[in-house]
Each structure stands twice: as C-alpha cells, then as structure tokens.
C-alpha cells in the first residue's frame, strides 16, 4: 500500500487526530526515556546549575558569581568526586529557590536550606549536611533582654526575618502575632531593619547572625541559640527536583563517603563549619518525621 497516497486522502480531522496520538506516545522517547531531568542534562553535555542566594557563610556569590560558602563547597566537592565539574552558578533571592528549582531555572539548591516537611512536599532533600541553631541579632546591649522566641512573644517587640526562612514558621508555632513579624528579602535587609529600629530582633541562623554582627560595626549583638528550644535546631540539606531520583541516590552515596572526612573539614573550616555542626546518623526521612 502507498502510505503517502493514503495520508493525502485522509480527511483533515482524522489526520490531526493521528498526529496528536503519535505525539502522545512519542513523548517519553523525546525526553530520552527518562524522567530524571538532571541526568538527561548531563547526558546532553549541559551544565549542572546550582541555585543559591546571598547567604553568608552558607552560600553566596564571589567575584564573577563564583559559588562561595560551605554548602557550595560541600556540593562542589561531592559533584567533583562523582566526575562532574561543568557547573553553572545561578544567584537568586531566597524566596525564589524552591520556585526556581521547580521551574527548571536551576538543578540543585545549595543555599543551605533547612529540611522541613513543608519544603519536602515540594522538593527532595539530600541526606543532612549539618545541624544548626537559630539566634537573633538585637541592638547592642540588648536592652529588652530578648533571648528566645518566647521572649519576643511575651514582650511584644517586632521581629524581622527573611521571606521563606524557617523562623517564619517558628514564630507562628510559639504564637507571635503576624503583625509583630516583618519579612524581608534577605540578611542585609534584616540588619537594616534592626539598625533603623523598624524591628528589635532579627531572626536567622547562628552563622548568619554572627556575620551580620560583624558587618554592623558594633551596632548589634547575637543571642545564644541555646536559649531557644531544641525543636528550633534544624538539619540542613541540598535540594533536588522530585524527578531527579537517580541522580540524588548517586549524590547521597558520594555524600556518605565525604561527610566528616578530613577533606571536607579542611575545605569548610574557613566558613566556620566545625565538627559540632556534623549531622550525626539521622536521615532526612527521620528529620521530616520528627517535625510532622
């Protein structure tokens, strides 16, 4: 049978239906037969795009957008051990990290993100890369005596934190009224709000708070993270798309070999990461279950 002559004689509607059906069945093959987007990018010779915000010392851009910070260092070391060095940094605001990953604007979140159930619903996390406490920057001398989330609730002072930070959820948990919580894009805005008196306490990780205190030239000081309850301590992970399960499994295997190794501790020392931040034996699944 002459197929080309048959096609020319087909009614237009039937021809459209035939083409549409073929496209549906061809879909998976057109994507290389894999739902793992990152592995497909690598096979196509494309870069691995790491997404992070300006969060010193976790992950931040240096000259020419070079990826700096201990989470970027951990990620780059692991990727190199896996044989991947074609890396492209993508800098965005903190609140754009998860939306950007889901929209395929980058492939891995290296921003130093806490493993929270609400986030785990949207992305997959690597196994934990560290455990960290939260603290506040407050005016030098801390005249209001603010040391914890409970203190903020009871005193009625205004707290500022970053949009999408875990401290937003912690404030809700302890009953701090929404009108007493200001959210801003990131750390520099947190410092500006406390300096100007717009807010009394700036909530964030202990590492980030130390950095802001250093930047303030003595205008603010840092509270002791141990004054907050145990449930405010968080394990951080590296974020992946829900579809990238094959790559994540390989990444976790390399992470297990790397975590706590002499190479790691030497490479992250300049950013203030010490053995006290090592995550221990807890898994990401266990972290999520503890917080649910």
pTM higher than the cut 0.75: no
The model's pLDDT over 273-289, given as tens digits with 9 standing for 90+, comes to 989 899 999 999 999 99
Share of the chain above pLDDT 90, in %: 79
Do residues 238 and 259 lie in contact, with contact meaning Cβ atoms separated by under 8 Å?
no
Structural domain containing residue 189: 134-232
- The number of folded domains in the chain is 2
**Which pLDDT value is given to residue 194?**
98
Residues 193 and 222 grouped into a single domain: yes
C-alpha span between 208 and 181 (Å, rounded): 19
In this structure, is residue 9 part of a structural domain?
Answer: no
CA-based nearest residue to 165, from 104, 116, 237: 116
Residue 186: CATH number of its domain: 3.40.190.10
Residues 215 and 156 grouped into a single domain: yes
Q: Which two tokens mark 44?
A: 């196509």
Residues 138 and 224 grouped into a single domain: yes
**Which pLDDT value is given to residue 7?**
41
Residues 125 and 149 grouped into a single domain: no
The model's pLDDT over 256-278, given as tens digits with 9 standing for 90+, comes to 999 999 999 999 999 989 898 99
In this structure, is residue 15 part of a structural domain?
Answer: no
Exposed/middle/buried for residue 220 (C-beta within 10 Å: 0-12, 13-18, 19+) = buried
Residues 283 and 243 grouped into a single domain: yes
Do residues 135 and 224 lie in contact, with contact meaning Cβ atoms separated by under 8 Å?
yes
All residues at 6 or more sequence positions from 203 whose CB lies less than 8 Å from its CB, including other chains: 134, 135, 136, 149, 159, 160, 161, 165, 167, 170, 171, 190
């Amino acid at each position: 049978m002459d197929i080309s002559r048959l096609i020319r004689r087909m009614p237009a509607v039937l021809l459209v239906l035939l083409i549409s059906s073929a496209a549906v069945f061809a879909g998976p093959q057109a994507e290389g037969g894999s739902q793992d987007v990152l592995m497909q990018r690598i096979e196509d010779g494309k870069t691995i795009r790491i997404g992070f915000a300006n969060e010193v010392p976790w992950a931040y851009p240096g000259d020419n957008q070079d990826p700096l910070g201990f989470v970027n260092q951990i990620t780059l070391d692991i990727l190199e051990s896996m044989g991947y060095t074609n890396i492209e940094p993508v800098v965005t605001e903190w609140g754009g990290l998860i939306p950007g990953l889901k929209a395929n604007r980058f492939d891995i979140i290296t921003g130093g993100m806490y493993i929270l159930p609400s986030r785990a619903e949207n992305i997959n996390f690597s196994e934990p890369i560290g455990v960290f406490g939260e603290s506040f920057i407050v005016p030098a001398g801390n005249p209001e005596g603010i040391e914890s989330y409970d203190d903020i609730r009871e005193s009625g002072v205004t707290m500022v934190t970053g949009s999408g930070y875990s401290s937003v959820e912690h404030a809700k948990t302890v009953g701090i009224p929404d009108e007493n919580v200001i959210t801003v894009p990131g750390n520099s805005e947190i410092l500006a709000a406390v300096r100007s008196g717009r807010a009394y306490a700036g909530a964030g990780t202990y590492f980030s708070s130390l950095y802001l205190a250093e930047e303030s030239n003595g205008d603010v000081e840092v509270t002791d993270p141990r004054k907050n309850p145990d449930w405010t301590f968080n394990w951080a992970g590296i974020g992946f798309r829900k579809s990238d399960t094959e790559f994540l499994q390989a990444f976790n295997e390399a992470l297990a070999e790397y975590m706590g190794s002499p190479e790691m501790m030497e490479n992250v020392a300049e950013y203030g990461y010490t053995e006290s931040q090592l995550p221990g034996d807890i898994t990401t699944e266990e972290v999520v279950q503890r917080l649910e």
